[in-house]
Amino acid sequence: MQANEPTEEKAVRLSRAVPILASTNMDETVSFYRERLGFKAVFESEDYAILSRDDVTINFWLCDDDEIPKVTSCRVQVQGVDGLYHECVEADVIHPNGSLEDKPWGAREFAILDGHGNLITFFEYMKQ
């Protein structure tokens, strides 16, 4: 087969999104996610980190603008949102307006703020 010959194409299927959030201090970010949320560092450098817990991976880039994390957010789908909420209450990371609630779009969710202001909403779809 020649390099320019067409190959059998696989069906297109998106499988995962990986957020990249801003950090104004990488050491503080890695410590926060490890100690308060139970993430593990997959990769760490002074200007980039990859952290994971279970099947979720979040990347972080070093940012010198304190305002960027304050307007950044992502949503993470979980199983056992009530249990995770209790973990986050104990870790004192719940957003002031982020209490666990059932939402009209069919999700049970809550939100946290990390040490730099990134908002992460953890959610679980409710059974219909």
pLDDT in tens, 71-117: 999 999 999 999 999 999 999 999 999 999 999 999 999 999 999 99
Please state, rounded to an integer, the average pLDDT across all residues of the chain. 94
3-state secondary structure the chain: CCCCCCCCCCCCCCCCCCCEEEECCHHHHHHHHHHHHCCEEEEECCCEEEEEECCEEEEEEECCCCHHHHCCEEEEECCCHHHHHHHHHHCCCECCCCCCEECCCCEEEEEEECCCCCEEEEEEECCC
Q: Kindly indicate the confidence band of residue 15, based on its pLDDT and cuts at 50, 70 and 90.
A: confident
pLDDT in tens, 17-46: 999 999 999 999 999 999 999 999 999 999
Reply yes or no on whether the pLDDT at 16 is more than 60: yes
Does the 20-125 domain belong in CATH 3.10.180.10?
A: yes
